[in-house]
Amino acid sequence: MSYDQHGNWLPPTEIIGSDLEDISWHEHDLIKVLKERGDLQGKESLKDLFELGHDSWELTDWENWPSGGQQVSFLHQYQEEYNAKKAAGTLQQAADEGWGLQFQRVIEEPWGQDMTYEAYTSNEIDFAHYNNNLAYRSTLNKLDVGNDLRSFRFKSSNIGKLREARDILSQEDYIVDEVWTRNNAMPYTNREQEQLDHFARFNQTRYFNPKTGITTYFDRSDSRSLDIKEKEAIQAGNFTQLQEPGSPQLLNVISGPPPEASYNADGVRVATKEDIKLMYQRYLGRDITYDYDTKTRDLAGVDDAGIDYWYNHGENTYSEVESQIAASLEAQGNIDRGRTFFNPNSSKESDNRDNLAPEPEKLVSPFTKSDNPLTINRTKITRPDYLPKADYDTIEGVV
């Protein structure tokens, strides 16, 4: 069978007749050319043109076309369109879109004489036909569809895989393993798919092993045992592991905002005086302060001459100045304080405190107030004579 590099059937170079009433090139002449080219064998006819030798489980619409003359006409139209796409350089694009005459298509109208050429080259590919074809499904273990048997049971709608499967089936020594295919590669039935969907709702997608501290992640539809899924997930790198926390690191945080970067005409960053001061602080251990009024930084024990030396040194690129300061003798005797972090809000705490409302007066106990001290008197209440006597005629209390 002759196919081009894009996976479409390659029409012969001879011009195929198109007039059904007076075919300029009769069916038997076309069959002769195709047999000489190897597209047809023995007593095969045009209806066997796209047969792969393993299609006893399928019956395509091409095989059911009643008229050889109609097949000749369609092949003629295909030849013309193929050559036009080849001249325009759009064969790859057409192949990616699924164009071609060798595929089984979704045909809404009943097949027969009224079938159009466009329907058999451009309609949607009937993937349901191929997904239920025993021969095509038998090639799944030869294709890159997954690394476990579950991948063979799902339906496919990939044109590229369909072409690869056809190439495998066209091999003379290929043998269809019917038993393996029926048990492992035929699509799930609707009932089986419903059960899988129901299972997936409650199937765990991660597992934490307390012994190893490893959390593995699974496909929700994977119904195999936990130990198998955990082992494969670790091999595939689908896991995370708890680690001992590292030792605490000191952060090199200084007051003020970061300096504005400066670049030369070539787009290379150059070292400004503010950059050089920060390098002194990081590599040479100098203390640095930031003046929010002047928006400048001052180094302890460093005069402007030292900063100017590096500022006017060589090409003054940022990387060059930094590497030389870091490699200096003075830097070897200090500890690299690490990446610099900036705190532009370091002065706001004192500013905010100045703007706070004054503290409220301290509360004073009413028993100790000097201007109006609270007086406590002890009093006695006696029952009036006109009231009946009771067991208790006198009540004492504090007012």
Q: What is the pLDDT of residues 264-275, one digit of tens each?
A: 888 899 998 889
243: left (phi over 0), alpha (psi -120 to 50) or beta: beta
Radius of gyration, CA atoms only, the chain: 45
> What is the mean pLDDT of the segment spanning 350-358?
75
pLDDT at res. 4: 87
> What is the number of alpha carbons within 13 Å of residue 394 lying toward its C-beta?
3
Sequence-distant (≥ 6) Cβ neighbours of residue 319 within 8 angstroms: 269
Confidence of residue 316 (pLDDT cuts 50, 70, 90): confident
Contact status, residue 92 vs residue 78, Cβ threshold 8 Å: no
Rounded distance between C-alpha atoms, residue 123 and residue 161, angstroms: 18
Helix, strand or coil, per DSSP, at residue 80: helix
The pLDDT tens digits of the residues spanning 26-50 come to: 778 888 888 888 888 888 888 888 8
* Amino acid 81: pLDDT: 92
State residue 101's pLDDT score: 86
The three-state secondary structure class of 272 is: coil
Distances (CA, A) of 179 to 54, 101, 184: 15, 31, 8
Least confident of 51-55, 272-276, 383-387: 51-55
Query: What phi, psi does 340 have (nearest 5°)?
Result: -90, 130
Residue 115 has pLDDT above 50, yes or no: yes
Q: How confident is the model at residue 398 (pLDDT cuts 50, 70, 90)?
A: very low
- The pLDDT tens digits for 198-241 are 776 778 888 999 989 999 998 877 878 888 999 999 999 999 99
Q: Could you read off the pLDDT of 238-255 as tens digits, one per residue? A: 999 988 887 888 889 988
CA distance 1 to 29: 18
Task: Tell me the two tokens of residue 50.
Answer: 């796209």
Q: Is the pLDDT of residue 374 over 70?
A: no
Mean pLDDT estimate for the chain: 81
By CB atoms closer than 10 A (0-12, 13-18, 19+), residue 307 is middle
Determine the Cα–Cα distance for residues 262 and 273; give it in Å rounded to an integer: 11
SS3 341: strand
Q: How far apart are CA 148 and CA 186, in angstroms?
A: 14
Predicted confidence (pLDDT) at residue 3 exceeds the cutoff of 60: yes
The pTM for the full model equals 0.48
Which residues in 275-305 are b (16+ Cβ under 10 Å) and which e? bbbbbbbbbbebebebeeeeeebebeebeee
User: pLDDT at residue 100 above 50?
Assistant: yes
* In the predicted structure, residue 145 carries a pLDDT above the cut 70: no
Across 291-305, 336-350, 369-383, least confident range: 369-383
What confidence score (pLDDT) does residue 399 get?
Answer: 46
